[in-house]
Amino acid sequence: MSKPTKSRPRQLTRAQLKAYEARRSIEVDRAAATTGEVINARVNAPVRRVQALTRGEEYAIIRSDLNRLLWILAVLGAALVVLTIFLR
């Protein structure tokens, strides 16, 4: 019989925090451009600050990353086909 596991929030890696902060600053810049407000996107906070993302936000980030990778794959695949045809 196994012990029940305690679910605790997972801490994000440094790269995930940087990516999140970059996306956040882009979103804030877009919001500021549409409303005309000046918003400070960078908060002077320690690097080890814990970010709690909702499941929907995490899936949205993962989905956008996968879409970007699929586009890159499609472009590289098309280039491979074109070069294979022309270099025969």
Determine how many CB atoms are found less than 10 A away from the CB of residue 82: 10
Give 42's Cβ-side CA count (13 Å radius). Answer: 4
Task: Match 């098309």 to its residue by tokens.
Answer: 78
Residue closest to 24 by CA, chosen among 9, 44, 43, 11:
43
Please state the φ and ψ torsions of residue 83, each to the nearest 5 degrees: -65, -35
Mean pLDDT of 39-58: 63
- What is the structure's pLDDT at 3? 63
Q: State if pTM tops 0.85.
A: no
- What is the structure's pLDDT at 88? 85
Q: Are 41 and 29 in contact (CB under 8 A)?
A: yes
- What is the structure's pLDDT at 38? 55
Mean pLDDT of 77-87: 95
Q: Are 17 and 47 in contact (CB under 8 A)?
A: yes
Q: Has residue 21 got a pLDDT over 70?
A: yes
Q: Has residue 58 got a pLDDT over 60?
A: yes
